[in-house]
Chain A
Amino acid sequence: GAGVSQSPSNKVTEKGKDVELRCDPISGHTALYWYRQSLGQGLEFLIYFQGNSAPDKSGLPSDRFSAERTGGSVSTLTIQRTQQEDSAVYLCASSLSGGDQPQHFGDGTRLSIL
């Protein structure tokens, strides 16, 4: 498809397990963002990839969170030893080049930690 694709759309897991969330950006978009959105809240910035530059990881809430982007395209966000407070919708977005371009969002992964 032409849009940003995220998988899975829903993930339920037990506390302490590791999870991997996937984002497939729009082809040709060099910038990729991950956000977290808790119920009724705005978007919390997690990490930003731009081309081959080192990612801006300043929003990652703890060292349990990590992300990588392989070949400048697909990205995975990994949460290790999940906690109940990690429950949220994780949104991925991509844009053509970053600062002066709008972002195109995927539908998100709803993560529930039991």
Chain B
Amino acid sequence: EDKVVQSPLSLVVHEGDTVTLNCSYEVTNFRSLLWYKQEKKAPTFLFMLTSSGIEKKSGRLSSILDKKELFSILNITATQTGDSAVYLCSYNTNAGKSTFGDGTTLTVKP
């Protein structure tokens, strides 16, 4: 059965810390892996990864995919209270269907 497992389920850090969020997956017909940030309502898109070993970066956030070991990580450096959110990992299949993990709840304390 296709699935996505995220770890840790929750994480509490202080401003300025660096965090690494993990996402492992098992899927047939893998097309892409995506990260989203969900604060109050709608998840918002962060990164889409299709190739192994190529880091995607946006400000203090970065992500990389390992298609051999079937996992991805999302790094956040110099965390701020505004980074507090649920971070969701998902994959898309070639048919376009998406499966999401349960998310990692990140709390950044001042």
Residues in A lying within 8 Å of B, measured CB to CB? 4, 31, 33, 35, 41-45, 48, 50, 56, 58, 91, 97-108
With known contacts A99-B92, A100-B32, A105–B100 Cβ distance under 8 A: no
| A99 contacts B95, C-beta separation under 8 Å | yes
Q: A39 to B1, alpha carbons, bound, how many Å?
A: 24
The main secondary structure of chain B at its interface with chain A is strand
Give the interface size class of chain B.
Answer: 20 to 34
Q: A43 to B48, alpha carbons, bound, how many Å?
A: 18
- Across the two chains, which residue of chain A brings its CB closest to B101? A42
| A43 contacts B96, C-beta separation under 8 Å | no
Q: A107 to B42, alpha carbons, bound, how many Å?
A: 5
| B92 contacts A108, C-beta separation under 8 Å | no
B79-102 to A contact mask, C-beta < 8 Å, 1/0: 000000000101011111111111
| B44 contacts A98, C-beta separation under 8 Å | no
Residues in B lying within 8 Å of A, measured CB to CB? 6, 31-32, 34, 41-45, 48, 50, 88, 90, 92-103
| A105 contacts B42, C-beta separation under 8 Å | yes
With known contacts A42-B88, A99-B95, A100-B32, A108–B100 Cβ distance under 8 A: no
| B45 contacts A45, C-beta separation under 8 Å | no
With known contacts A42-B103, A43-B88, A105-B43, A100–B31 Cβ distance under 8 A: yes
Q: A113 to B71, alpha carbons, bound, how many Å?
A: 38
| B92 contacts A43, C-beta separation under 8 Å | no
